[in-house]
Structure 1
Amino acid sequence: MIINDPGSYLEVGGRPAVRFERIYEHPVDRVWRLVSDPAELARWFPSPQITIEPAAGGAITFSGDPVMPEATSTGRVLAFDPPRRFAFSWGGDELHFDLEPLDAGRTRFVLTNVLEARDTAARNAAGWDVCLAALDALAEDRAAEQPAWKPKYDAYVAAGLPSGAPIPGQGGA
């Protein structure tokens, strides 16, 4: 991996969002599998059980996350354009995974989390930071480390990302 973007806050279509970018030393088809195949996605995504109807308008179901109050949630696939774009709703948020093939068999991966509420930016950025560390390890065929979430959250708050949303499983920020 060449770029390990720490995450940034922005607006997308007038809505708050957090964005991360990675460049992987793998062809776009391999990175696509890591982000769109339910078995691969479950290895780094917050929900360990995922089902996907791979077409715009299809259902995507998440379950098994021990810190989420609802055992199962269902969203909608917003875009499914292999191997370039996968987007879906998740609760009131939207997740956009955009891939771009680069020279020498590399791939740029951009994750944009369009947020339902502005005050979730620091919380979600810290969560994605932890999840993307697992994706990075998976892409690099190495054991994943489990980085601590709270120091990452504190760093995003200190960097000025909007905060204050409740923390699932902890009762508050």
Structure 2
Amino acid sequence: MNESLTLHPDGRTSLRMRRRLPHPPEKVWRAITEPSHLAAWFPAEVTFDGDRIGYGFGPDGRVTHREPPRLFAHTWGEDHLRWELEPDEGGGTLLTLTHTFSDRYGAASFAAGWHTCLIALLARLDGRSPAPGPPETGRLHEDYVHILGLDAATCDGGTVRVERQLVRPAGHVWRHLDGDLAAVGEPPPAPFTVPAVPAGPVTRAEPGRLLQYGTPGGSVRWELGEGTGHGARLVLTCTGDPATLPAWRSRAAALAAELAAEG
């Protein structure tokens, strides 16, 4: 596997991606450090002013390491990007990208984005145009959820918790779940339930954001918040019955797959 996650003691996460490129390190170095080349594949418009980097939107960054043609590292807001180049067999380059950030569950979004960028980088190095048409980012995102182990559920003190980055905005997810049919005092719409957990009446409903209902042993709460990229972050909790963990994990996975499969 060419992608992995490392969780650091301070709570930050590093995503590492490795690619073999059939081009020498000197050529790859120019492609990852010169704005005219970066414009063909990097996800933002890059400008340099000494060690300061502008990205065209959001916070600026600064260069932390520059050792041509071996190591280029820089910040982007609170994130840190490290590009390592090693000579590879046949005159090529082994490129290792390490992206360090604070949002572990956003790692699949980052990985899908960088995967697409690295394909465009290779096209630039080859002297050809990237393949036409938008990438299937939804399916790619879900592949990385599984590759990086971001599809787990936890149980702490009898509370089951599933956190999942989704590929559609919160309003879209809410409508997909028939959330507009939810009403306090009434049964929750079926997509918010699983057969293993008898659903009581809705106790709280905030359109596009939150739905909560009672169960015989506790409650179920669906929250849709701001996530990484363009999609919502789902936090699903069920109190009172740890045995429901597999059911809620499967329900979140099914929802994510449904959203990713949409055109």
**TM-score w.r.t. structure 1 length?**
0.80
Residue of 114, 119, 141 corresponding to 2:127: 141
> What is the identity, as a one-letter code, of the residue corresponding to 1:23?
R
Q: Distance in 1 between matches of 2:69 and 2:116?
A: 24
* % identical aligned pairs: 35
Displacement after TM superposition at 1:167 (Å): 3.7
**TM-score w.r.t. structure 2 length?**
0.54
Find the structure with the greater CA-based Rg.
Answer: 2
SS of aligned partner of 2:74: strand
Q: Is the 8 A contact 1:12 1:114 kept in 2?
A: no
1:132 counterpart = 2:118: yes
SS of aligned partner of 1:97: strand
Q: Distance in 2 between matches of 1:137 and 1:33?
A: 14
Q: Deviations over 1:14-46 (max 9, x none)?
A: 631111111112111101011111111121111
1:23 counterpart = 2:20: yes
Per the alignment, residue 142 of structure 2 pairs with 154
SS of aligned partner of 2:232: coil
Higher relative contact order (CA 8 A, sep 6+): 1
Q: Is the 8 A contact 2:61 2:76 kept in 1?
A: yes
Q: Which runs of 5+ in 2 are unaligned?
A: 152-163, 166-225, 234-263
> What is the identity, as a one-letter code, of the residue corresponding to 2:38?
L
Q: Distance in 2 between matches of 1:38 and 1:13?
A: 35
1:33-112 alignment runs, 5 A limit: 33-47=30-44, 49-53=45-49, 58-63=51-56, 71-112=57-98
Please, which moves more after superposition, 156-165 or 15-24?
Answer: 156-165
Displacement after TM superposition at 1:6 (Å): 5.0
Q: Is the 8 A contact 2:79 2:99 kept in 1?
A: yes
SS of aligned partner of 1:44: coil
What root-mean-square deviation, in Å, do the aligned CA atoms of Structure 1 and Structure 2 show?
2.2
Q: Which runs of 5+ in 1 are unaligned?
A: 64-70
Q: How many residues align?
A: 157
Q: Is the 8 A contact 1:130 1:148 kept in 2?
A: no
SS of aligned partner of 2:55: strand
SS of aligned partner of 2:130: coil
Q: Distance in 1 between matches of 2:47 and 2:106?
A: 25
Q: Distance in 1 between matches of 2:143 and 2:37?
A: 29
Q: Deviations over 1:55-102 (max 9, x none)?
A: xxx101101xxxxxxx34311111111111110111211000000123
Q: Distance in 1 between matches of 2:30 and 2:9?
A: 28
Q: Distance in 1 between matches of 2:108 and 2:150?
A: 5
